[in-house]
Amino acid sequence: MRKRELKNMEWGLPIVAVILSIIGLIALFSATQETEFDEFKKQIIWIVVSIVAMIVVMCIDYEVLTKISPFFYGLFIILLIGVLFTEPINGASSWFNIGMFSFQPGEFAKIFVILFLAYVISKIQARNKSEINRPTRLLLILLVLAVPVLLIIKEPDYGTAMAYIVGFLVMLFTAGIDKKYIIGSLILVVIAVPLVYNFILPEHAKQRIDIFLNPESDPRGAGYNILQSKLAIGAGGLTGMGLLKGNQTQLGFLYPKTTDFIYSVIGEELGFIVAGLIIILYVYFITKIIYVAKTAKDDIGSLIASGIAGIFIFHVLENIGMVMGLLPITGVPLPFISYGRKFNDNKLYISRNITKY
């Protein structure tokens, strides 16, 4: 990597990512003492691997990655089809199990779908930026997104599908989509939401929305996790109950505490100050990505950064919002902080803890 590129790099991004990862490790250390810190140890290994991967990718020009993105887009479409034939975990076929290694193609595909969308949009706008507003061109771009999103919905994994859609919408905004499409989409959403809820969503998805609106209606069933999460965050106060001392965390009432509800662990044991600091760090991180998008040397770079910003915006808002009861639970992890692995015994674990009342 040339010295000029190192000088122009936004060093705030990797620094914040490392800080958030360290906070995540601290929370995982506390949340995994009952399993002899198994997930904590594995997370350290994967953070080291990720840092090495980050350095390698930093040395590759994103234009090169964009050019090879059609190949990887096709590869991950095949993987997303293949994962539908795997054994469901908690009702969703989202993972490949290869020995001790678990692989979720929907997560890795995010990167290459963003790259391929940037490639397609930039090709369409090569001669005229307003080309994106032609219905045929817009339909082509929508098709690129629709294929992976529909496959992910089929798994089903609505949270991951929404991350794709939000990233895509931010990219369209950056590309200069006409306001008439934005207004039309908003009207369509308003009309579609009640129709989707009543006629398309499966019962478990409807239940999540109903519980989000009124978790107290089923405190020992579907509303159990969110109520425990809110209790944990509220009990933390300003400075927290102390590491390894959180009641909901250490007594097993909070689950899954290393993935979806890791922010609840932080709120209970480290308190509002640390939990608030995390939000500030995320705001800084996302703002910097948007700044990169605005100052990129070309349209492809701007589009890639915009898509990545959109995905982070969704993950942060959805995860923190759901653990505080402000948004429905979708199983979306918190970037850099959540443990990167699935859990298979969700229903068993909940039923076991209900007996403690």
pLDDT in tens, 140-195: 999 999 999 999 999 888 899 999 999 999 999 999 899 888 888 889 888 988 88
State the chain's maximal CA–CA distance in angstroms.
66
In a domain, 190, yes or no: no
8 Å CB contact between 305 and 290:
yes
Q: Are residues 33 and 127 in the same domain?
A: no
Q: Are residues 317 and 232 in the same domain?
A: yes
What average pLDDT score do residues 281-309 get? Answer: 95
pTM comes to 0.88
The position carrying tokens 């350290």 is: 44
Alpha-carbon gap, residue 242 to 339, rounded angstroms: 20
Q: Are residues 288 and 252 in the same domain?
A: yes
Q: Are residues 224 and 357 in the same domain?
A: yes
Tokens of 82: 């293949």
In a domain, 157, yes or no: yes
Q: Say how many Å lie between the first and final Cα of the chain, rounded.
A: 58
- Domain closes at, from 177, 204, 221: 177
- Domain closes at, from 162, 177, 192: 177
Alpha-carbon gap, residue 54 to 5, rounded angstroms: 15
Q: Are residues 14 and 138 in the same domain?
A: no
Alpha-carbon gap, residue 327 to 229, rounded angstroms: 13
pLDDT class for 345, splitting at 50, 70, 90? Answer: very low
Share the mean pLDDT of the chain: 87
Alpha-carbon gap, residue 297 to 217, rounded angstroms: 53
Q: Are residues 155 and 268 in the same domain?
A: no
In a domain, 12, yes or no: yes
In a domain, 327, yes or no: yes
Q: Are residues 218 and 347 in the same domain?
A: yes
Q: Are residues 173 and 83 in the same domain?
A: yes
8 Å CB contact between 93 and 35:
no
Q: Are residues 116 and 239 in the same domain?
A: no
Residue 213 has pLDDT above 90, yes or no: no
Q: What is the sign of the dihedral through the CA atoms of 183, 187, 188 and 194?
A: positive
Alpha-carbon gap, residue 147 to 24, rounded angstroms: 33
Tokens of 122: 């930039």
Exposure string over 140-179, b if 16+ CB within 10 A, otherwise e: ebeebbebbbebbeebbbbbbbbbbebbbbbbbebbebee
8 Å CB contact between 335 and 313:
no
Q: 92 - beta bridge partners?
A: 89
- Domain closes at, from 129, 162, 177: 177
Q: Are residues 43 and 94 in the same domain?
A: no
The pLDDT value recorded for residue 6 is 65
pLDDT in tens, 190-202: 898 888 888 777 7
8 Å CB contact between 294 and 317:
no
In a domain, 74, yes or no: no
In a domain, 69, yes or no: no
In a domain, 271, yes or no: yes
Alpha-carbon gap, residue 162 to 34, rounded angstroms: 34
Percent of the chain scoring above 90 in pLDDT: 55
The pLDDT value recorded for residue 353 is 34
Instruction: Tell me which residue range forms the domain holding 94.
Output: 79-177
Alpha-carbon gap, residue 296 to 303, rounded angstroms: 9
DSSP 3-state percent helix, strand, coil across the chain (nearest 5) = 70, 0, 25
Q: Are residues 299 and 169 in the same domain?
A: no
In a domain, 123, yes or no: yes
8 Å CB contact between 243 and 26:
yes
Q: Are residues 223 and 333 in the same domain?
A: yes
pLDDT class for 1, splitting at 50, 70, 90? Answer: low
Q: 102 - beta bridge partners?
A: 97
Using alpha carbons, list the distances in angstroms from residue 152 to 81, 147, 201, 239: 9, 9, 14, 40
Closest CA to 331 of 339, 236, 322: 322
Kindly give, in sequence order, each residue whose CB lies less than 8 Å from that of residue 128, ignoring residues fewer than 6 positions away.
none
The number of folded domains in the chain is 2
